[in-house]
């Protein structure tokens, strides 16, 4: 019983020394976010502490026409002093299967030097009349055609 009284005494002593403090008065009401990339007005913006990416983009006057927002989470709450980079859509030139060099054809996914040579040899005999005709080249099937069809032209 004495031990219990001693423990109780120390618990009361410790509890009486500490006071709870409301930390909300010390929380920042705003945050700074740097916005750069394909944006109308790049810069550092002071926004509400819980502003989403969408709110920040509105403050920066929106994205440019060539902005790639497909990977952005518009509801994300970024931490203070973050950097938000808006990427640009990269336009790639199409490769002509009727006039491209072997090196250009070799840059296509799945097409190596051997298949590039076969494409050039095929078109020397008969130029391609349609994109699907490239599947007649040995080594190019439906799967490879699906990978390259948006990267080639006649």
Residue 6 sits at φ, ψ, to 5 deg, of -65, -45
The residue among 59, 86, 113 that closes a domain is: 86
How many beta carbons lie within 10 A of that of residue 147, not counting itself?
A: 13
pTM of the model: 0.51
Give me the pLDDT at residue 13, please. 67
Number of structural domains found in the chain: 2
On whether residue 62 sits in a domain, the answer given is yes
On whether residue 10 sits in a domain, the answer given is no
pLDDT in tens, the chain (154 residues): 778 888 877 777 666 666 667 777 777 789 999 999 999 999 999 999 889 999 999 999 999 988 888 888 999 999 999 999 999 887 777 888 888 888 888 888 888 889 889 888 988 998 888 888 888 888 888 888 888 888 888 8
Residue 149 maps to which CATH number?
1.10.150.320
Spatial strand order in the sheet of 43-48: 43-48, 30-37, 82-86
The residue among 61, 86, 111 that closes a domain is: 86
The residue among 86, 103, 120 that closes a domain is: 86
The residues pairing with 77 across neighbouring beta strands, listed in sequence order, are: 52
Which residue range(s) make up the domain with 53? 28-86
On whether residue 3 sits in a domain, the answer given is no
User: What 3-state class would DSSP assign to 152?
Assistant: strand
């Amino acid at each position: 019983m004495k031990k219990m009284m001693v423990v109780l005494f120390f618990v009361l002593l410790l509890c009486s020394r500490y006071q709870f403090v409301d930390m909300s008065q010390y929380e920042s009401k705003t945050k700074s976010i740097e916005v750069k990339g394909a944006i109308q007005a790049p810069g550092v913006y002071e926004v509400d502490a819980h502003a989403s990416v969408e709110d920040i983009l509105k403050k920066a006057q929106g994205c440019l026409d060539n902005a790639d927002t497909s990977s952005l989470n518009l509801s994300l709450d970024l931490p203070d002093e973050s950097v938000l980079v808006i990427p640009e859509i990269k336009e790639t030139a199409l490769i002509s299967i009727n006039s491209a060099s072997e090196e250009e054809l070799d840059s296509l996914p799945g097409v190596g030097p051997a298949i590039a040579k076969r494409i050039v040899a095929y078109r020397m005999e008969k130029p391609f009349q349609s994109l699907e005709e490239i599947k007649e080249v040995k080594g190019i099937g439906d799967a490879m055609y699906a990978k390259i069809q948006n990267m080639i032209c006649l």
